[in-house]
Structure 1
Amino acid sequence: MKLPDKTCTMEGAIARIRDGDTVMVGGFGVPGTPMSLIHALVAHGARDLTVIKNDANEPGMGIDHLLHSGQVARLITTHLGLNAHAIGLMNAGEIEVEFTAQGILAERIRAGGAGIAGVLSDVGIGTELARGKQIVEVAGKPHLVETALRADVALIHADRADPFGNLAYCATARNFNPVMASAARCVIVEAETVVPCGGLAADAVHTPGVFVDHVVALETLTQEYAVVRR
């Protein structure tokens, strides 16, 4: 059986994002952040987005471009500490921000990919993180109900891909990318290298191609990727 070729242009893939969509964006700081896909989304112009990302990157980088263009209505994240611009938007009420502990964010996304409603955690009991959340008792201890997260689209950065969408990540760039690739209706991947089918050893595949919808080959890496040294 011949596997489908999912390679396409960046503009063609990003055009599938609509106003009001929820978009997961991989990455932890610079490593694993799909910088080029973010720029394409800015150019595309979809607005009122809910963005799910571990962090807001730094000013003038990554997610900050979407914040400057006014396309983000809501941000679900673990921290904003490196981006004073994002903090200013939050304090001014121009974007809604939901903070989630980093491990809990990963678990909520994993739950979304696994098809379960959520997870229970005692992290955040008695703090601002518990505000508005359901609390249940398990084994005599209170636990927060942390609801699963799913997205309309996930934007992923991979080191290598094949045309079917099998992916391999490099070192810490693996971070949030694998779980996000499992938890979105449409998964768009930018890959530094696209190899022929069979070019990735089975043991080297971190995300199977069944989770991926579109593969975009990166022609160059911009200066935003330059923090990563290999």
Structure 2
Amino acid sequence: MNKVYGSASEALDGLLRDDMLIAAGGFGLCGIPELLIDAIVENGVKNLTVASNNAGVDGFGLGKLLDTRQIKKMMSSYVGENAEFMRQYLSGELELEFNPQGTLAERMRAGGCGIPGFYTKTGVGTVIAEGKDVKIFNGEEYIMEEGIFADISIVKAWKADETGNAIFRKTARNFNPPAAMCGKICVMEVEEIVPAGSLDPDHIHLPGIYVHRLIQGEHEKRIEQRTVRKKEA
């Protein structure tokens, strides 16, 4: 089975449709599948629900899909750094399902493991718990959260072999593995594709069994918040 495609648009061919749920890896601008996001923008598919920690920044990453109004709902844990995300939410133009960050990651991981739901203390006694099933374990309340089963996943890795075994570089691992796991189809972009068998099995972060389509491309290395020391006299 050949998983390697020539471009992001080719890798997404036949997968996109209106009203679908997409799980996207990345954290801020770190490890985001920017080439696949650009291809979704070009495709024009609309009324999307996107499960992602946040929506990037204005005009880059998932922010581009907000600019084109292709997203109808975000399932996220953070709204900051994106003024358009905040504006659309506060004006009622965008649905938002807030998730505590760890809960969102576990919902993705659970979906990837075939687990339809789990109980957690996170969010008990807050608006997060509204309308959710509550059970008592060891005398304490827990709320049920549902696993995320996405129609497709879009993720970015540093290096992968031709079968999709992937390595993420440092903090770029973030939400990428659980996002990849929870999609019925996972499309992954990488900086480098190497021959099968050339990666140390002990270094693999995501087994290729989760990856269905794969592309290699050039990526922009943006820094979301640049923090530097003052120059010494």
Corresponding residue for residue 168 of structure 2: 169
Amino acid at match of 2:123: G
RMSD of aligned Cα (Å)? 1.4
Deviating more after overlay: 171-180 vs 4-13: 4-13
Q: How does 1:34-73 map to 2 (within 5 A)?
A: 34-73=33-72
Corresponding residue for residue 198 of structure 1: 197
SS of the residue 1:36 aligns to: helix
1:14 touches 1:44 (CA, 8 Å); kept in 2? no
Corresponding residue for residue 157 of structure 2: 158
Please report the TM-score for the alignment, with normalisation by the length of structure 2: 0.92
Cα offset, 1:131, TM superposition: 1.7
Cα offset, 1:5, TM superposition: 2.3
- Is the counterpart of residue 147 in structure 1 residue 146 in structure 2? yes
Corresponding residue for residue 74 of structure 2: 75
Cα offset, 1:194, TM superposition: 0.6
How far apart in 2 are the matches of 1:50 and 1:133? 20
Cα offset, 1:145, TM superposition: 0.5
Q: Write out per-residue CA displacement over residues 118-163 of structure 1, whole angstroms, 9 at most, x where no aligned residue.
A: 1111111121111221212222211111111110100010100111
How far apart in 2 are the matches of 1:6 and 1:81? 36
Corresponding residue for residue 109 of structure 1: 108
Aligned equivalent of 2:222, options 210, 221, 226: 226
- Is the counterpart of residue 11 in structure 1 residue 9 in structure 2? yes
5+ residue gaps, structure 1? none
5+ residue gaps, structure 2? 227-233
- Is the counterpart of residue 124 in structure 1 residue 117 in structure 2? no
- Is the counterpart of residue 27 in structure 1 residue 23 in structure 2? no
How far apart in 1 are the matches of 2:222 and 2:70? 25
Equivalences, count: 223
Deviating more after overlay: 5-14 vs 47-56: 5-14
Corresponding residue for residue 87 of structure 2: 88
How far apart in 2 are the matches of 1:169 and 1:59? 25
Please report the TM-score for the alignment, with normalisation by the length of structure 1: 0.93
Q: Write out per-residue CA displacement over residues 157-187 of structure 1, whole angstroms, 9 at most, x where no aligned residue.
A: 0100111111111000111111111111000
SS of the residue 1:33 aligns to: coil
Amino acid at match of 1:22: L
Percentage identity across aligned positions? 36
Amino acid at match of 2:4: T
Deviating more after overlay: 47-56 vs 4-13: 4-13
- Is the counterpart of residue 99 in structure 1 residue 98 in structure 2? yes
Q: Which runs of 4 or more aligned residues in structure 1 lie more than 4 Å from their structure 2 counterparts after TM superposition?
A: none
How far apart in 1 are the matches of 2:126 and 2:204? 40
Cα offset, 1:47, TM superposition: 0.7
